[in-house]
Amino acid sequence: MATVSIPACTSALLLDIEGTTTPITFVKDILFPYIREHLEEYLSTHWEEDECKQDVHLLKKQIEEDMRQNRSCPVHTVDQTVHTDEEKAIREVMDNVLWQMAADRKSTALKQLQGHMWRAAYSSGRIKGEVYQDVIPSIKRWRGQGLKVYIYSSGSVEAQKLLFGYSVEGDVLDLFDGHFDTSIGAKVECKSYERIAERIGCQPEEITFLTDVTREAKAAEEAGVNVVVVVRPGNLELTDDERAHYDLVTSFSQLELTGRA
């Protein structure tokens, strides 16, 4: 693919993670399987610790909310205070977590427990955050040209910081000026990008957003943000219309900043 020029008015780059800086397979084939494979071990080891108790408490609240809303949920209910058999209680938590993951739930309770498990995995060296080889050199080049660089991902800010703090390239967190997650709004809503511009302190047209998801690209565009769609192995196939409409890159190295050295 040809070089893509970014407008000279750009002062900030906003980067998606999954499918943009990082292979989609990292989440699907590394992070999620890690939870499934190590859940019992993690709960057994940390069961009596305050953080784990809080995680279980949140899961219990989520189940109660699901039952109030008549949502389907596993047959077990989680109750850490009333049980005679710790293993049975752990099994009930496991059933709920695995059920939520199978249903692709995005509940705060699930995200919090996953985040704590991933933190332990990253800090022990069991997992390293994957980034494409073109990402770090390109970010360093952009920063050298006076641009600010931010992350916007549906993964929590804590999960983002773990990925880049324990990456295959080492701790690269100092390359980013800030992180945004869905607490600022959904990535498919244009208001989210307006809020990010306000938080950064610039106009939407001064931001260039890199993503592999065209629904996100459309929302950003509606907010006045400049958009580049990233085409990586394993990403969702683009339609002919999408290919014609958006600037496309297969590598960050193809991005050139107009009027900058």
Instruction: Tell me: is residue 72 an annotated ligand-binding position.
Output: no
Q: Are 156 and 113 in contact (CB under 8 A)?
A: no
Q: Which residue has the tokens 């002062």?
A: 11
Q: Collect the ranges in the chain with pLDDT lower than 50.
A: 261
Show the DSSP H helices in 179-259 as ranges.
190-200, 214-222, 240-245
**What is the separation of C-alpha 89 from the centre of its chain, rounded to a whole number of angstroms?**
30
Instruction: Tell me: is residue 187 an annotated ligand-binding position.
Output: yes
Which pLDDT belongs to residue 79? 54
Which pLDDT belongs to residue 126? 94
Which pLDDT belongs to residue 1? 66
What is residue 198's three-state secondary structure?
Answer: helix
What is residue 175's three-state secondary structure?
Answer: helix
Instruction: Tell me: is residue 169 an annotated ligand-binding position.
Output: no
Q: Answer positive or negative: Cα dihedral of 119, 124, 127, 131.
A: positive
Instruction: Tell me: is residue 66 an annotated ligand-binding position.
Output: no
Which pLDDT belongs to residue 150? 98
Element spanning 212, H or E:
none
Which pLDDT belongs to residue 75? 54
As to burial, measured by CB atoms within 10 angstroms (0-12 exposed, 13-18 middle, 19+ buried), residue 241 is exposed
DSSP tag of 133: T
Q: CB under 8 Å to 26, separation ≥6 — which residues?
A: 18, 129, 130
Which pLDDT belongs to residue 199? 98
Instruction: Tell me: is residue 153 an annotated ligand-binding position.
Output: yes
Which pLDDT belongs to residue 83? 55
Distance CA 240, CA 252 (A): 22
Show the DSSP H helices in 145-189 as ranges.
157-165
Q: Taking every pair of C-alpha atoms in the chain, what is the biggest distance, in angstroms?
A: 70
Instruction: Tell me: is residue 247 an annotated ligand-binding position.
Output: no
Q: CB under 8 Å to 145, separation ≥6 — which residues?
A: 257, 260, 261
